[in-house]
Chain A
């Protein structure tokens, strides 16, 4: 056999050609049948949805009767799919009737069977979601078992189904699951957020958990519900061994505006973790804007973290009158970060126009004071939007300010003139 004449290549090409043609034709036929099937199915579902919408205004008994009829007419699989994806077909105001009719149709056992042992994974998931919607208490166990299923998808959708139940039992199961699978905390709390405030007690109990992630997420969720009389327990968490929990506690105390938490927050100014200090500063500034100015300024000058400095800066600018001497002093600081925060304080508090107005003042004292401040700002070498501010002045006044700038820095004055 000539190695450059492999006979098999011809046969291989024939197979490849057959496969390609078969596949090509298959795709076209598949698309065609799908299109027809989808059209038929869509027409059916649109009709169902329209009929249900029309039912909305009918008397209760009529709705119940009609929904029951629909429930009995549909094959089980269709009914599960329809219920799992009800947001597309069933008007919200009819979901209660749908739930009742489903339960009364005597098909619950069949759904439970699919949810427990369904061979098709996605059918099983739809049945689990269906059980969540039906909110039947005994089904919490089935969903709880689903959470521990080795298949990640079944576990995830069991979680979503439990969230549909929105009752204490489901909340308890989800909180226990949070203890086991902390990395899902974000998702679990976002689901629990849809529950009523009644789960607050369970969340307060979760604060006693040994797992810091559970304490952290329970705190985060509690800050949404803000139950009354919880301040004491939260204050005690401000000294929690976990820095995440301490930070969340500080954040919560600020949101609650609990004045009794001032001392606890102030103590956190010494926390070894920057984000705890940052939240303590932010929360304290929500409680008392000016009472702790010196402590805030101290942090602004000495804290190594830019985030803490920035939070302290945001806190002190609410009382510029008191903070001004400190901020002015900060402009001479050697630490670049502190200097930057002080410049930002002048910008954020909208103090730059006041300085420029002072430059235009005929009062010598005011002029001197503001000139000195402007000089320090310019010498800080940090951009503070001087050119843009100058644009707000008419030509004569602008020239006067530029003349003052020339005394400080002639090159900058030239740039401003341009």
Chain B
């Protein structure tokens, strides 16, 4: 009875703390998003566009079997409103038509280039330069070092002080780089990394790298992923950013100061995915070297759109990898946890990763199993079980609604019927979607302990 009661109370406390955490960061995120929205409205983008002092950026797109997306992604980058940038596409030994599409689109020719590999990023198969766009080059390399290896290979070639790292299925908004770099330009000495919100492109009408119509499709699997993206980016991340405790700059779109990336040892192919681990490493490197006044920031502006898994099995595959990389990074940087040297990162955002992203899955499964079991053996009343499950459901729902409100208040991205649909969906997430994610997390945990470190790519499916 006592053990049972203790476990029950631990689970209940866990959910209440989590709810409190989300509420606090929802409020912080609200103020942060409001501020960034105003900033963006009053910024003089014309002056940034016309200045030769605007910081140039090297954009890196790693591509491995991306024939469905590579054309639109590259075109969306070429259409960016930004005065000076170079684009380096890394073809990671694609076996489909990725390289052929690039050759056709960019009018590529092989060139000789002396190349010095500082990070053991894999054998280079060839350098190609675009005849059509002088600021675009393509690097063809042997695969095997994951996305991190491809990024490192491009880092060897990148010539500008800032590097923008993105995925090959991210379609950028025209002003994506401008909005992000306008923030960097305010204080380039201290802002070392910056990311921004991006959502799912599933269902969007995209032609030649331009999003013609933003149609948030109603298929629940995709809609729930959209809701998750909103919850993750606009909820906690914006709040963490305000506290300068940003634990992740997403690999889908992020800008880093190149000197910091190089000094911290570049991206590490050992991990299942590079983004979370590198953000932790950048913090670790900067703090260990006494550079306390740096900033790693997250903006709420929507800068691009990416493809989400379209089947349950693909979703499980993706989330399984996310769980593995979370475990890997948290384990690697466990010394930061509650370490005052790491400030709010160690005391606010890392604990969230440990207790929610890593251990949360056990609380979720454990709490349901224990209450159901308790109910079956008559130790817990049915009413109590229902109460408990209802609390889990409402916590989940409320944590989705707050970011949804913030996003729509400041960015008016969704129409009324879409908002209504998301609100209704949020009440049902607990009944099935949540458990798919839990399943993926459990799988990820098992594979983490089995030592699996591969970066499984999800199957592309463009409509």
A→B interface (CB under 8 Å): 3-5, 9-10, 12-13, 16-17, 19-20, 23-24, 26-28, 30-32, 34-35, 38, 84-85, 87, 122, 125-126, 129, 153, 156-157, 160, 163-164, 183-184, 186-187, 189-191, 193-194, 220, 224, 340, 343-344, 347, 352, 382-385, 388
A384-B43 Cα distance, complex, nearest whole Å: 48
Partner of A10, one of B38, B387, B404: B387
Asked if A194 contacts B412 (CB within 8 A), the reply is no
A186 to B383, CA, bound (A): 64
Q: Is the CB of B39 within 8 A of A153?
A: yes
B12 near A27: Cβ-Cβ < 8 Å: no
10 A-B pairs closest in CB distance: A385-B112, A190-B53, A190-B51, A16-B394, A24-B423, A31-B419, A122-B38, A344-B114, A183-B189, A23-B401
Contact A84 B405, beta carbon cutoff 8 Å: no
Is B8 in the interface zone, CB < 8 Å from A?
Answer: yes
User: Restricting to B396-413, which residues have a CB under 8 Å from any CB of A?
Assistant: 397-398, 401-402, 404-405, 408-409, 412
Closest to A350 in B: B112
Q: Pick the contact of A13: B8, B187, B374, B390 (CB < 8 A).
A: B390
Tell me whether B4 and A190 are in contact (CB under 8 A).
no
Residues of B close to A340: CB separation below 8 A: 114, 116
Q: Report yes or no: B55 in contact with A186, Cβ–Cβ below 8 A.
A: yes
Given known contacts A183-B189, A190-B185, A129 and B112 CB-to-CB distance under 8 angstroms:
no
Name the contact of A12 in the complex, choosing from B186, B380, B391 (C-beta under 8 A). B391
Given A28-B419, A31-B419, 19 more pairs with CB closer than 8 A: A4-B4, A4-B381, A9-B12, A16-B391, A20-B401, A23-B402, A24-B427, A27-B405, A28-B416, A30-B408, A31-B416, A35-B412, A122-B42, A153-B38, A160-B43, A187-B186, A190-B53, A193-B53, A385-B112
Q: What are 23 A-to-B residue pairs whose CB atoms are below 8 Å?
A: A3-B9, A4-B4, A4-B8, A9-B12, A9-B388, A13-B390, A16-B398, A20-B401, A27-B419, A30-B408, A31-B414, A35-B416, A85-B42, A129-B42, A156-B186, A160-B42, A184-B186, A187-B185, A187-B186, A193-B51, A194-B51, A224-B52, A385-B112
| Inter-subunit contact A190/B54 (CB<8 Å) | yes
* Chain B contacts for A30, CB-based, 8 A: 405, 408-409
- Distance between Cα atoms of A182 and B33 in the complex (Å): 28
Give Cα A135 to B416, complex, Å: 42
Alpha-carbon separation in the docked complex, A37 to B395 (Å): 32
Instruction: Determine the distance from Cα of A189 to Cα of B46 in the docked complex, in whole angstroms.
Output: 15
A340's nearest neighbour on chain B, judged by CB, is B114
Q: Which residues of A contact B416 (CB under 8 A)?
A: 28, 31-32, 35
Closest A residue, CB atoms, query B388: A9
Asked whether, in the complex, the Cβ of A23 is within 8 Å of the Cβ of B112, the reply is: no
Interchain CB contact under 8 A, B384 and A5: yes
Contact indicator A20/B397 (Cβ below 8 Å): yes
Residue B463 CB within 8 A of the other chain: no
Question: Cβ of B387: which chain A residues have Cβ within 8 Å of it?
Answer: 9-10, 13
Q: Is B415 an interface residue (CB 8 A)?
A: yes
Count, chain B residues at interface, CB 8 A: 61
8 Å CB contacts to A: which residues of B51-73? Answer: 51-55
Report the minimum CB–CB distance from A94 to chain B (whole Å): 16
- Say yes or no: B53 contacts A388, CB within 8 Å: no
Chain A residues within 8 Å of B380, by CB: 4
Give the one of B114, B380, B398, B404 with max A CB within 10 A: B114
Which residues of chain B have C-beta atoms less than 8 A from A189's C-beta? 53
Residues of B within 8 A of A24 (CB): 397, 401, 423, 426-427
B420 on the A face (CB < 8 A) = yes
Write out the residue numbers on chain B whose beta carbons fall within 8 Å of the beta carbon of A17: 390, 394
Scoring B42, B190, B402 by chain A CB atoms within 10 A of each residue's CB, the highest score goes to B42
| B424-447 Cβ-contact flags toward A at 8 Å (1 or 0) | 001100000000000000000000
Q: Chain B residues with Cβ under 8 A from A183's Cβ?
A: 187, 189-190
Q: B355 in the interface, Cβ–Cβ < 8 Å?
A: no
Chain A residue nearest to B35 (CB atoms) is A153
**Could you tell me the distance in whole angstroms from the C-beta of B381 to the nearest C-beta in chain A?**
6
Please, how many angstroms separate the alpha-carbon atoms of A235 and B41 in the complex?
Answer: 43
Decide if B47 is an interface residue (CB 8 Å cutoff): yes
Q: Scoring B residues 171 to 213 as 1 if CB is less than 8 Å from chain A, else 0, what string do you get? A: 0000000000000011111100000000000000000000000
- A339 CB, min distance to chain B CBs, angstroms: 11
Q: Mark B315-338, 1 if CB is under 8 A from A, else 0.
A: 000000000000000000000000
Residue of B nearest to A388 (CB): B110
| Cβ contacts under 8 Å, A194 to chain B | 47, 50-51
- Chain B hits for A193, CB < 8 A: 51-53
Q: Which residue of B lies closest to A352 (CB)?
A: B112
In this complex, what residue of B is CB-closest to A3?
B5
- Whole-angstrom CA separation of A187 from B187 in the bound complex: 8
Within 8 Å by CB of A34, from B53, B110, B394, B412, lies B412
Q: Return the contact of A220 from the options B44, B53, B190 (Cβ within 8 A).
A: B53
Verify A31–B408 contact, CB threshold 8 A: yes
Q: Shortest distance in angstroms between B424's beta carbon and chain A's nearest beta carbon?
A: 8
